[in-house]
A and B are shown apart, each in its own frame.
Chain A
């Protein structure tokens, strides 16, 4: 059913996102060139490519993070749930709630562990103690952090280790019940043990969420994703099953990049 979007690849699940003719610009500079892709739902899609290839620009388009950049301009369509997320009727705040994001550097609020997670609910007007307590616990459990922090929820989030802070950010994103989780280099500031925990978590998340992850670490893409997109100079060079990309990529340039013989 996705063949129109992913010509070389037939994913197991239908698309959460359908992207057509996507061009992105920062002022005069074109960052994405005619990207067309279907991102399968409840599955992990990894985006790889050298620095400046457009993969971060691309993932930021998916929840309109680039709107905040004044010189940014976009052409083409991003359909999420068959709605163009860039159309005028769409509420950006709602889109960002449904499509959560975790960044390279953990960025907890300078509040308590508890309040970091309750925050998203409070701004939605939910203040009932038992509802908040329940969501905080459930979110922390889903983020595999509960056992480590359950006895110190009132402590500052910034007292946690880097890996714990990153899982807290994931818990915070989960708390508002998104449909998609976007990860932009979520482990690049973490040690291997913390990285392994986040990766396990990502594999767990794909049961309930559509996951898209941008990573510089190709082994990470290989470990966590079902399909991988390779970007180069703003173009999507290849989108294929991750096993295919790492054993027998269809495109020669992909081969050169993943075997380290690029450029």
Chain B
């Protein structure tokens, strides 16, 4: 049915649009921290409603298609994936908003230290999001498996940042408030990467029909080998 194909394409476009908005929010949230730009941080917070609106639109559209078109097989898996992906994207948007709130607070105090690992982490998390959207569009299983593996790198950096900040806090209690806020940001980025991983898992479900959530890394690698 040609009209159904158009509807599916339209849904895909909306997801892509939502993903790019989220990606922009993450990028700007870190920029507002690193460049101490409170104005930019407030702007990111202000535009989160666009992401929320798309979340609702995509849900409504997906539910409508299930009710009216009774999708089957790959069409069904695509729509279910769309519905689940948007929840992850919406949460990622919220986390970018959280980063901005901490950035605004941090920008009111002297900078604790030069930000090195945080931007690196953000770059990886953002890259995971961009690539997972690409894998979703291109139905690329190899890319999706690769994204899942990159989550380890982000987890490693989170621990590294926490240890470093712990050292600051022990050395000088006056740094505690700022160090905790930076730790939060690291945690937000780690969560963003987790959501990108969830999306990669859903993309694999969409393509292969296999649910790999909650599998061990070894089992996933075995699947990838097949």
Q: B-contacting residues of A (Cβ < 8 Å)?
A: 218-219, 222, 245-249, 254-255, 258-260
B27 within 8 A of A: no
Q: A219-B70, A248-B209 are in contact. Are A260 and B1 (CB under 8 A)?
A: yes
Q: A247-B209, A248-B209 are in contact. Are A259 and B70 (CB under 8 A)?
A: no
Q: B54 to nearest A CB, angstroms?
A: 26
CA distance A195 to B101 in the complex (A): 58
Q: A260-B1, A260-B4 are in contact. Are A247 and B71 (CB under 8 A)?
A: no
CA distance A247 to B80 in the complex (A): 11
A248 contacts across to B, CB distance below 8 A: 73-74, 77, 208-209
Residue of A nearest to B205 (CB): A248
Residue of B nearest to A250 (CB): B209
- Number of inter-chain CB pairs below 8 Å: 30
Q: Mark B51-93, 1 if CB is under 8 A from A, else 0.
A: 0000000000000000000111111110000000000000000
Chain A's interface: helix, strand, loop or mixed, by majority?
helix
CA distance A98 to B72 in the complex (A): 36
- Contact assessment for B73 and A246 in the assembled complex, using a CB-CB cutoff below 8 Å: yes
- Other contacts beyond A245-B73, A247-B77, A248-B73: 20, CB < 8 A: A222-B72, A246-B72, A246-B73, A247-B72, A247-B73, A247-B76, A247-B209, A248-B74, A248-B77, A248-B208, A249-B73, A255-B73, A255-B74, A258-B72, A258-B73, A259-B73, A259-B74, A259-B75, A260-B1, A260-B4
Interface size class of B (residues with CB under 8 A): 10 to 19
CA distance A39 to B122 in the complex (A): 56
Would you list 24 pairs from A and B whose C-beta atoms are within 8 A, ordered by A residue? A218-B72, A219-B70, A246-B76, A247-B72, A247-B73, A247-B76, A247-B77, A247-B209, A248-B77, A248-B208, A248-B209, A249-B73, A254-B73, A255-B73, A255-B74, A258-B72, A258-B73, A259-B71, A259-B72, A259-B73, A259-B74, A259-B75, A260-B1, A260-B4
A258 contacts across to B, CB distance below 8 A: 72-73
B73 contacts across to A, CB distance below 8 A: 245-249, 254-255, 258-259
Q: A97 to nearest B CB, angstroms?
A: 37
Closest 6 CB pairs of A and B: A248-B209, A258-B72, A255-B73, A246-B72, A259-B75, A260-B1
Residue of A nearest to B1 (CB): A260
